[in-house]
Amino acid sequence: MRTPFVAANWKMHKTVAEATAYAAAFRARMETIRAAEVVVAPPFTALHAVAAALDGSPVGVAGQNLHSAPQGAYTGEVSAGMLREAGAGYVIIGHSERRQLFGETDAGVNAKLHAALGAGLVPIVCVGETLDERDSGRMFQVLNRQIAGGLADVELEAAGSVVVAYEPVWAIGTGRNALPAQAQEAHAHIRQRIARALDADGAAACRIIYGGSVKPANAGALAAEPDVDGALVGGAGLDPDSFAEIVAQNAAAAV
């Protein structure tokens, strides 16, 4: 059985003081959690402080993005090595907001994926369709393209280290929530496409998590689906109590 993977993406929220206060409160709630892998992704300015506050706890820390190059004249960017030095063990790649607002491409996602793997970071690779793409019947076509391009040339032995996050963009802040059955349909398709790219064992080892307006009210039902291996949480992950409840529901689904 795949260990559930639950991550909170804080996006552009929380000062260092706010982030470390969250880390202290959340850490206390996670001391008894062993059935799930749990990660928080603070903004870059708070990453080192949060990693220090969570050191020795079962909670990991992720960067929200990285550059594919190890160093260079890339103003405003952060490398995989910098993330590792700051205390991150994970990194989010190709988030829908990065794709939509900053023009990230599948090829760019793939370059970042290999940079992360090369530095020993666990990549959380995001895929997902927009409302227009879903309503026009192009959901599977979009997912196929993103998986083929974003996961190109991943070695079979690395598949277990890659986390894929399915983000139905149409279910984020639109008032339209994806039903558990819709999430399962997409996750099963993604696993099949990964199996084509690698093999059945590689696809079985890859954790595919759901990231579309996950809240305590729907986390348990989503986690109960056979191909949903956890959650990438946005707004509900900004509150330690709310996020702890989501983690608990995912951990319970694995027992």
The closest of 57, 60, 52 to 89, measured between CA atoms, is 60
Q: Is 58 helix (H, G, I), strand (E, B) or coil?
A: coil
The residues, ordered by sequence, that sit 6+ positions from 33 with a Cβ below 8 Å of its Cβ are 58, 247, 248, 251
* DSSP string over 133-201: HHHTT-HHHHHHHHHHHHTTT--GGGGGG-EEEE--GGGSSSS-PPPHHHHHHHHHHHHHHHHHHS-HH
pTM: 0.96
Residue 120: give its domain's CATH number.
3.20.20.70
Report the pLDDT value the prediction gives residue 175, as an integer from 0 to 100.
Answer: 65
- Active-site residues, by number, are 95, 167
> What stretches in the chain show pLDDT beneath 70?
175
Distance CA 216, CA 48 (A): 28
What residue numbers bound the domain in which 109 lies? 5-254
Are 134 and 176 in contact, with CB atoms under 8 Å apart? no
Report the pLDDT value the prediction gives residue 62, as an integer from 0 to 100.
Answer: 98
Q: What is the pLDDT of residues 73-132, one digit of tens each?
A: 999 999 999 999 999 999 999 999 999 999 999 999 999 999 999 999 999 999 999 989
Tokens (6 digits) for 136: 């026009």
Instruction: Give how many domains the chain has, as a whole number.
Output: 1
Q: Using DSSP bridges, classify how beta strands 37-41 and 5-9 pair: parallel, antiparallel or unpaired.
A: parallel
